[in-house]
Amino acid sequence: MKKSVWMFPGQGAQYYQMGRDLFTHEPVFRQFIERADDLAKPLINQSLIDVVYQERSNRFDPFHRLLYTHPALFVFECAMAELLEQRGLRPDYLLGYSLGEYTCLVVSGAAPFADVLTAIIKEAELIEYCSPTGGMLAILDSVEIVERYKNEFRDCTIAGRNFERSFIVSASRSALARLQAFLKSAGVSTAELPVDYAFHSPDMDRLQNPRHLVLEQLSFGVPSIPIISTAHRGFLKGVSVQSLQRATRSALDLMETVRWLESTGEYLYVDLGPSGSIATAIKYILPKTSGSEFVILSSPFGHESENVRALTQKCNKYFGR
């Protein structure tokens, strides 16, 4: 039987109305989010439920204000994990991508949900006060073009590699605009991420000390489920202030991480994020010969409840229930 990997994405995966179907139809999901909202509201003076689920004229407006996206994305992922667990599903491994490593802390039992939520809110606040604004660009080409167009990429940092023909760079807004214009003329497709900061780049260095002060307030236990980090490109030996600093500052490599994992067996990759972005990348990473499968539970197209039901049935079949 295949081992299951629950995967948690980071900044960029969020959008308004994410998880609306589950919020409406799944009390477990809804109650989890309501509890989180009660914890977050006294700190940020705003209801995350209002921010995410209020009716707006254009639901496809980018959801980018970090103070809200940071906790909202984390809460979504934890609520999704809670829902699957309540349905009797258990992961063999957890995989964290950037902010998703914070979710892994909670799902693995290494730190309490409320404490990590508070830390994430503090981190978002401190980023807004300490880091220069910037952005991130997904580039649909091989990372080798960075070498080829050295001059055009000079002000950018490679933030992560997702699959053979997809990587992400971080930079200031003006540098990204220049790069995007150039890549367009060179026939390379790009997509801006809905973020206002150059994560995983030297622009985040002024945050390092404030974030350390926040993270050292957490007490870390031993994860009861092994955590795979895309920053570490393998299993984390333990969770610590350092592992979380690395999760948000180092370059990520999903491709190398999954290739390494594939060399150890066949897996059922389940994306617990709102947009299915990691599972989509995995589709491109998996070799044709791989026996692994991937599952997307949530996407802007909705039908989350149905997807959760289908996954539950599939796993019950595995277990012969």
Partner 1 sequence: MTRIYLFPGQGSQKVGMGEGLFLRFPAQVAEADAILGYSIAELCLSDPSKQLNLTTFTQPTLFVVNALSFLDRLVLTGELPDFVAGHSLGEYNALFAAGVIDFSTGVRVVRERARLMARESGGAMAAVIGLTADRIRDVLKNANFSGIDIANLNSPGQTVISGPENEIVAAQSWLEKAGAQLYRRLPVSSAFHSRYMVRAEQDFGKFLQSITFAEPRIPVLSNVSARPHLSADLVANLAAQITHPVRWTESIEWLLQKPDPHFVEIGPGNVLSGLLKRIRMGA
Residues binding partner 1 (CB under 8 A): 42-45, 67, 118, 121-122, 125-126, 128-130, 132, 205-206, 208-210, 213-214
Backbone angles phi, psi at 293, to 5 degrees: -130, 160
Closer to partner 1 by CB, 24 or 174: give it. Answer: 174
Instruction: Name the burial class of residue 307, with classes exposed (0-12), middle (13-18) and buried (19+) by CB atoms within 10 angstroms of its CB.
Output: buried
Cα dihedral across residues 33, 36, 38, 40: positive or negative: negative
Closer to partner 1 by CB, 45 or 264: give it. Answer: 45
Closer to partner 1 by CB, 164 or 205: give it. Answer: 205
Closer to partner 1 by CB, 62 or 210: give it. Answer: 210
Closer to partner 1 by CB, 43 or 225: give it. Answer: 43
- Closest distance of CB 202 from partner 1, Å: 12
- Closest distance of CB 152 from partner 1, Å: 27
- Closest distance of CB 126 from partner 1, Å: 6
Q: Residue 233: which of 262, 213, 260 has the closest Cα?
A: 260
- The per-residue b/e assignment along 14-28, b for 16 or more CB within 10 angstroms, e otherwise, is bbbbbbbbbbeebee
- Closest distance of CB 130 from partner 1, Å: 7
State which amino acid sits at residue 177: A
Closer to partner 1 by CB, 164 or 216: give it. Answer: 216
- Closest distance of CB 46 from partner 1, Å: 9
**Greatest CA separation for the chain:** 59
3-state secondary structure of 222: coil
C-alpha 249/C-alpha 259 separation (Å) is 22
Backbone angles phi, psi at 51, to 5 degrees: -60, -45
- Closest distance of CB 27 from partner 1, Å: 28
C-alpha 146/C-alpha 131 separation (Å) is 25
